[in-house]
Amino acid sequence: MRYAPLATIAAIAIAACAETPPPAPPLTQADAAEGRRLAEIHCSACHAIAAAGESDHAEAPPFRTLSRDYPVTALEEAFAEGILVGHPDMPEFRLEPPQIDALIAYIQSVQEQPAG
């Protein structure tokens, strides 16, 4: 009887591991380069997309500052469904999952680093 609870716990742990999807492969520099290309196409007319510089549109925050207000990954859903918020004349566009991953990787790569 002493082994029954241990066997049950082991079975539950194995089942839980089987249901967990495998982790996504790490994003590469090529992914971030593709993200930059997408940012240049869809975003650079208004936003400063690099680690320095000012946005051409007064209401468009520089990419490097986006993490001040929320996690950059929070943009994934908006990129998938079409961004309908932002500055008033922001164009709507939708991206496919690999493009979203690449754009998020690029945006994360240019975020300001906390001082200290």
User: Over the Cα atoms of the chain, what is R_g?
Assistant: 20
Domains of the chain: 25-109 (1.10.760.10)
Burial string for 93-114 (b: 16+ CB within 10 Å, else e) reads eebeeebbbbbbbbbbbbeeee
> Can you give the pLDDT at residue 105?
94
Contact 27, 36 (CB under 8 A): no
Q: Tens-digit pLDDT profile for the chain (116 aa)?
A: 454 454 544 445 455 555 554 555 666 888 899 999 999 999 999 999 999 999 999 989 999 999 998 899 988 888 888 765 566 677 778 889 999 999 999 999 999 987 76
> Can you give the pLDDT at residue 1?
46
